[in-house]
Structure 1
Amino acid sequence: MSPFVDRREELKALKERLTSDKFELIVIYGRRRVGKTRLALEAVKGLPHVYYLAVEGDNLRHFRETAERVFPEVKYSREDWEGTLHALKGKIIVIDEFPNLIKENPQVLSLFQRAIDLDLSNSKTKLVLLGSSVSMMTEKVLSYKSPLYGRRTGSMKLRPMDFFSLREFFPRASWEELVEVYGMSDGIPFYITQVELPFWEWLEKELSSPVSFFRDEVDFLLRYEFSEVSTYKRILEAIALGKTTPKEIRDFTGLRHSDISPYLRNLIETDLITREVPVTEKRTSKKGRYYVADNFLAFWFRYIFPNLSRIEEGTFSAEEIRESYDHYLGFVFEKVVRQFLIELNRASKLPFRFTKIGRWWYKNEEIDLLALNERKKKALFVEVKWKELSEMEAQGILRDLERKGELVGLDGWEKYYGLVAKKVTGKVELGEEGWLVWDLGDFKELKSLE
């Protein structure tokens, strides 16, 4: 098992709850592969506990057998959920993939509610429920309609780790190679731990392996949430290939005459896509665009899905991915730079502290990142380039950014203009002209800010 990396805040918070002197019902959810199980197991390490991974059927019997191995007294309890939970009163109970219990018997929610209300709530029992079906955990466990509503004492939606966490997995890698890895893995622990460096050698080997996780991974993810996998896959493919408006998605998928809104809403609820509006607009703006939520899905639909037959035949090479990878990383690097700016903001290393950050667009004009402090009326416009730039090229980009900045309409605001690229020549000279300029060489600065 690979060493446990990052998640320090989440681990600390969870351990505090597990060692409290009162009843706790903690819900941890998030998409598959994001590290929920590993986090829970790390938190209970050294503490007497029952860990049970729910399956598709006969869960009560399996759970009792698992619990008996740790706490033999369970054997003498009544053979139902309430009797079993009573026998574990005061103990730590971790149930992974809790949605499988609900699928097997929807009444299990009411049975757990009854056990909590009548027996466990006045004890030191710690009940931790994990789930990868985001939609089911949200609807059946967390919503106000759920029998468990009002019983939980804490919930945690686990998201991918940030880009800078990859440094702990690959301490000797260059920042450039870390961006390349992030373009495939995002901050999702399962994918990160599959990678070996050098990245391109590993990818070539993985693509040629008959047991590669690439082949069935997305079907595996989608089947867990949806029955109509092919339609969702087509929509995800459209978005991954840059079709970001409902009309573009409809045209690409051929679903012109059907309402795709429910599909998009379901994909958002399950954390597979996000909807963004220009940062200066309200969330209800009709200018919304849709983006694939994580880099792995974007990578898979761009490079793996169209080439599955060739991968099976052994005629597809990682070199073909490498030919267009820098172009693909342009969008990935925007995500990285957003995280970089957020870290600088936390450390007060920018001209002002921003309160929101996002993209901006209008018709054919786009600004990669725009950071705002609306109360103080200050704005930072940032262009992001995954390439090496000369001082003259950087000047041209920054002057064009100033032109686009005027289109945003922030009259009377104090404005700053910045550029982040793979490498920029003449950063000092550009800084003397009043611009903010960073490249990969500045990423190491974040370590000193921790």
Structure 2
Amino acid sequence: MSVFLDRHRETSMLESRYLGRKAELLVIYGRRRVGKSELIDRFIAREKGIRLLAREESRTLQLRHFSLKLGDYYNDNFLKKTSFADWDSFFEYLLKRTDERFVLSIDEFPYLVKEDPSLPSILQDYWDTHLKDSQIFLILSGSSISMMEESTMDHASPLFGRRTGQILLQPLRFIHILEYLKDMQKAVELYSVFGGTPAYIMSADTNLDIFHNIEEKVLREDAFLFRDVDFVLRSELVEPRYYFSILFSIAQGNHTIGLICNDCGLSKSIVNKYLSILIDLHLVYRRIPVTEGNKSRRGLYFLSDNLFDFWFSFVHPNIESLERGNTRLIVDQFVRPRFSRYVGRHFEAMVMDLFDFFNEHHLLPFVYTRIGSWWYRGEEIDIVSLSDDPPSILFCECKWQDNVDGKKLYAELIKKAGRVSWQNERRREYYCIVARTFSRRPEADEQIICYDLLDLECLAFRLLDN
């Protein structure tokens, strides 16, 4: 099965715009290895076009490279021999080809801008005077989120206001990893470690158990994932040492500003500044209680990518030992004893994703409009979903454990639910317990649902097969 399976929405967007026959200047961006090139290549394969991959080299070599590619595409031997002298000659050549619809994708656009900062203003000029009235379907893409936003979407960019659309390509959802792996427990364990980045999850060997995958694919010094997190961060961040400290602190369980400050020894103003940048880069996200608004002061901070969380939890603290070849030792002494707890902190997010999938098909007690977590003064409920009309609320606890006493957990959940302040006099309450397996379940009732892994798997695949 293709790792491209959940890109139908993005492909549909591209196809719809292509059929519109209007000139397009589309920005597609997202972290490295998230599947941008695959998305563009599959789109171009169905239409007429070419993807030009920029490289970190001089402008002369960049233009020569593009000349050869376009010369091959248009069977233009003269162009292959002469090369473009400058970006003006590149765009002038394109103008001669814009009387018919075709896709031109310039991949890793920031490399070109870094070498020649005048390029956005040159493109602005050609877009305003010629290209916006042509048949061109121009895609600018790149892996550096900050540089893509700065060079194409920032107010200060000459291209501001010229783009006709943008796609921020996100990692795959858990439901699509489950569809790919066909096994709920394996999907939960692998997604907890490798996350939803296609290149990461596809590096896993589905014939090996989770600990062999961790040892062979993440902790070995020659594995590409051993260095990839470090590489991605250093390519995005100017001052990596403070960012690394904050990310490591969050991975160790410090989720409030105060705890991060104390752990890192940094001032609140510095931590706030760096967290804001990490959020903009989609490396960290801020979670607030689902019953509160975005201005809530009780936000908690988490790493956005599971592989980054795993890397900062187990690789970064043991990097020197791993570099000495102690891979098996780290797995046995550090990963195995903590792994169930590590998976548990990601399991509720996977259940939320499954609930979103179930919600689309109206399989929960009501169709919710909001879902998240709730906490207050030491009390916490893993998942709470809400619907305002009529006021309905679902409380859910998730346990990555076997032989869970669902009856006892249900009684505890009812007590905690009474402390949740939201439409208290009018709401209809429902309850849910999710576990790997149960030792006993609550009595069957229209207000209580229990799912073990097999229940979730059967329900998910029933919907996927349809």
TM over 0.5: yes
Q: Determine the C-alpha separation between the residues in 1 that align with 2:153 and 2:218.
A: 40
**Contact residue 383 and residue 395 of structure 2 kept, 8 A:** yes
Which position in structure 1 is the counterpart of 2:15? 15
Equivalent position to 1:81, from 83, 87, 93: 87
Equivalent position to 1:403, from 415, 428, 437: 415
Which position in structure 1 is the counterpart of 2:343? 329
How far did residue 257 of structure 1 move?
6.8
Q: Are 1:52 and 2:52 counterparts?
A: yes
Q: Determine the C-alpha separation between the residues in 2 that align with 1:101 and 1:266.
A: 24
Aligned residues: 445
How far did residue 2 of structure 1 move?
6.8
Q: Letter of the aligned partner of 2:455 in structure 1?
A: D
Which position in structure 2 is the counterpart of 1:36? 36
Aligned residue for 1:45, secondary structure, equals helix
Spell out the pairing of 1:114-153 with structure 2 (5 A cutoff).
114-153=125-164
Which position in structure 1 is the counterpart of 2:180? 169
Aligned residue for 1:26, secondary structure, equals strand
Q: Unaligned regions of 5+ residues in structure 2, if any?
A: none
How far did residue 152 of structure 1 move?
1.9
Equivalent position to 1:71, from 67, 70, 74: 74
Q: Determine the C-alpha separation between the residues in 2 that align with 1:305 and 1:441.
A: 35
Q: 1:139 to 1:309 in 2, by over 3 A?
A: same
Q: Which string of whole-angstrom CA distances, capped at 9 and with x for unpartnered residues, describes residues 50-108 of structure 1?
A: 22222223233332232222124482786332331232233321111111122222221
More moved, 81-90 vs 279-288: 81-90
Q: Letter of the aligned partner of 2:299 in structure 1?
A: G
Q: What is the TM-score of this pair, normalised by structure 1?
A: 0.93
Q: Determine the C-alpha separation between the residues in 2 that align with 1:348 and 1:356.
A: 14
Which position in structure 1 is the counterpart of 2:353? 339
Which position in structure 1 is the counterpart of 2:205? 196
Q: Determine the C-alpha separation between the residues in 2 that align with 1:3 and 1:214.
A: 18
Q: Determine the C-alpha separation between the residues in 2 that align with 1:221 and 1:41.
A: 23
Q: Determine the C-alpha separation between the residues in 1 that align with 2:255 and 2:281.
A: 18
Aligned residue for 1:388, secondary structure, equals coil
Which position in structure 1 is the counterpart of 2:399? 385
Q: Which string of whole-angstrom CA distances, capped at 9 and with x for unpartnered residues, describes residues 164-199 of structure 1?
A: 21234334xx31111110011111101011100213
Q: Which string of whole-angstrom CA distances, capped at 9 and with x for unpartnered residues, describes residues 25-54 of structure 1?
A: 111111222111111111111544222222
Q: 1:425 to 1:15 in 2, by over 3 A?
A: farther
Q: Letter of the aligned partner of 1:153 in structure 2?
A: T
Q: Determine the C-alpha separation between the residues in 1 that align with 2:281 and 2:3.
A: 28
Q: Determine the C-alpha separation between the residues in 2 that align with 1:209 and 1:409.
A: 49
How far did residue 309 of structure 1 move?
1.4
Aligned residue for 2:436, secondary structure, equals strand
Q: 1:68 to 1:361 in 2, by over 3 A?
A: same
**Contact residue 25 and residue 162 of structure 2 kept, 8 A:** yes
**Contact residue 251 and residue 313 of structure 2 kept, 8 A:** yes
Q: Determine the C-alpha separation between the residues in 1 that align with 2:199 and 2:84.
A: 39
Q: 1:208 to 1:189 in 2, by over 3 A?
A: closer
Q: Which string of whole-angstrom CA distances, capped at 9 and with x for unpartnered residues, describes residues 294-338 of structure 1?
A: 111110000111111121112232334122111101111011000
More moved, 218-227 vs 336-345: 218-227
Spell out the pairing of 1:229-248 with structure 2 (5 A cutoff).
229-248=240-259
How far did residue 113 of structure 1 move?
1.1
Aligned residue for 2:25, secondary structure, equals strand
Q: What is the TM-score of this pair, normalised by structure 2?
A: 0.90
Q: Determine the C-alpha separation between the residues in 2 that align with 1:268 and 1:2.
A: 30
Q: 1:99 to 1:313 in 2, by over 3 A?
A: same
Which position in structure 2 is the counterpart of 1:62? 65
- Identity, % of aligned pairs? 35
Q: Letter of the aligned partner of 1:61 in structure 2?
A: R
How far did residue 417 of structure 1 move?
1.2
Which position in structure 1 is the counterpart of 2:270? 259
**Contact residue 400 and residue 435 of structure 2 kept, 8 A:** yes
More moved, 333-342 vs 160-169: 160-169
Aligned residue for 1:431, secondary structure, equals coil
Q: Are 1:293 and 2:296 counterparts?
A: no
Q: Determine the C-alpha separation between the residues in 2 that align with 1:372 and 1:207.
A: 38
How far did residue 281 of structure 1 move?
1.1
Q: 1:414 to 1:449 in 2, by over 3 A?
A: same
**Contact residue 77 and residue 84 of structure 1 kept, 8 A:** no
How far did residue 251 of structure 1 move?
0.9
Q: Determine the C-alpha separation between the residues in 1 that align with 2:249 and 2:119.
A: 39
Q: Which string of whole-angstrom CA distances, capped at 9 and with x for unpartnered residues, describes residues 218-263 of structure 1?
A: 2211122111111101100011111011111111111137521110
Q: 1:257 to 1:368 in 2, by over 3 A?
A: closer
Aligned residue for 1:214, secondary structure, equals helix
Q: Are 1:178 and 2:190 counterparts?
A: no
**Contact residue 221 and residue 325 of structure 2 kept, 8 A:** no
**Contact residue 175 and residue 357 of structure 2 kept, 8 A:** no
Aligned residue for 1:360, secondary structure, equals strand
Q: Letter of the aligned partner of 1:189 in structure 2?
A: P
Which position in structure 2 is the counterpart of 1:424? 438
Q: Letter of the aligned partner of 1:56 in structure 2?
A: E
RMSD of aligned alpha carbons: 2.2
Q: Determine the C-alpha separation between the residues in 2 that align with 1:406 and 1:436.
A: 18
Q: 1:178 to 1:25 in 2, by over 3 A?
A: same
